Structure 1
């Protein structure tokens, strides 16, 4: 049984398609503690109002496979940014400039995730050294 994920932010942004035309497509973006879920918009409403709905199927970008959030540019009221995966794949996004930008939210969540992983690795290393037992050098006879 999986635990429900804590949603940090839920909203809309646009993702550039990887096809030949590289069109911008509206996505519902759900930021959680372990990654970003992107839901497609079904219908012609662009995700808003009647005649449109968000699909239940989502593409998941997990922080464990993410390298960084890169390439921020501001043009005509929009923020353009790139999520770089550890494989080197780059995924382009854009969102409105007003309010808190998605790039900052995703970057901060990624840093938080990587820091927690580093702390956990350090704890595990410390515990494994402690459990290996002492060498007997500091024990009294």
Structure 2
């Protein structure tokens, strides 16, 4: 299996400094700052990228799990909401909410939710983020 890489560089002090996050594949080179991370300044931040990775990994894991269960999804869309909070000693990601909707012919809502829960537990990014206090899943069929 290939090893994936990313690089981050920070320039200057925390307040007023800026950073760059770059994918080893060259697919992105993104700027970030204290304002984009802890405020409402436009731009990205590490938590947003964790959310994108988690949503992408989970969607693929759900498609795989549905296939294993005999269903072929037309579409799966997942939004991840990553919450970072100030705690004693610094900041911590305390909760990730995965909100997924699937267009899956022939499946009922209960079975879809059961397969989605299995996918959440088996998703490699979910497993990597087990240190997060809570990962919450909301799963529903489209239509």
Q: Do Structure 1 and Structure 2 share a fold, with TM-score over 0.5?
A: no
Structure with the largest fraction of helix? 2
Higher relative CO (Cα under 8 Å, sequence separation at least 6) belongs to 2
Higher alpha-carbon Rg? 1
Structure with the largest fraction of strand? 1
